[in-house]
Amino acid sequence: MADPAFGDQINAHRGYLLRVAQLQLRDQDLAEDVVQETLVAALAGSGFSGKSSLKTWLTGILKHKIVDAIRHKQREPQAVASFGSLDAELDIDAFDALFGEKGGWDAPPADWGDPEESLNRHQFMEIMDFCLEKLPPNTARVFMMREVMELETEEICKELTITANNLWVILYRARMALRQCLEQNWFAGKGARD
């Protein structure tokens, strides 16, 4: 039987895991199921060695559960869901103002300091979550599939029925929007939100 204290530590990350799953799956019930499966697997597996943080370990389990859920949805007949117009979510022309006529930065990115220190700070992760939630839903989903779930290009394109070129444009837009949000809400004001 699992240690009750370990169960409490795992359960403390439930909210974070649920946010990640909801952002990725866009289905409240399925997200809750996947998080529940993650927690059960964590408690049953006892594979936590302490080489990473508990949150990182749980996120790794969650990634596999989400990928399994996505693959399961692909096999179902109703898996051909409308993904919507990704081009309408973010206007690439809005980023033109960031660059000068010769293609260089009009205003170079601010000095972000020591990235390792920032990543270790809880407040930074709150702002990062805030910025991810500000992304249009489909753009956030693509970003999460690539950067958090670490899915391959072919797998993402198959799941979303988009081309590789479309995927890279969406990822570029997501990264630029996240950059702007982080500049405004973290690096410019060290944690002040809009």
Q: If you average pLDDT over residues 81-108, what whole number do you get?
A: 64
Q: In order of start, what are the domains of the chain with their CATH numbers? A: 1-81 (1.10.1740), 85-194 (1.10.10.10)
Residues of the chain above pLDDT 70, percent: 78
- DSSP string across 116-171: HHHHT-HHHHHHHHHHHHHS-HHHHHHHIIIIIS---HHHHHHHHT--HHHHHHHH
pLDDT tens column, 51-69: 778 888 888 888 888 888 8
Its pTM stands at: 0.54
Residue 43 C-beta-side C-alpha neighbours within 13 Å:
18
Number of Cβ atoms within 10 Å of the Cβ of 80:
9
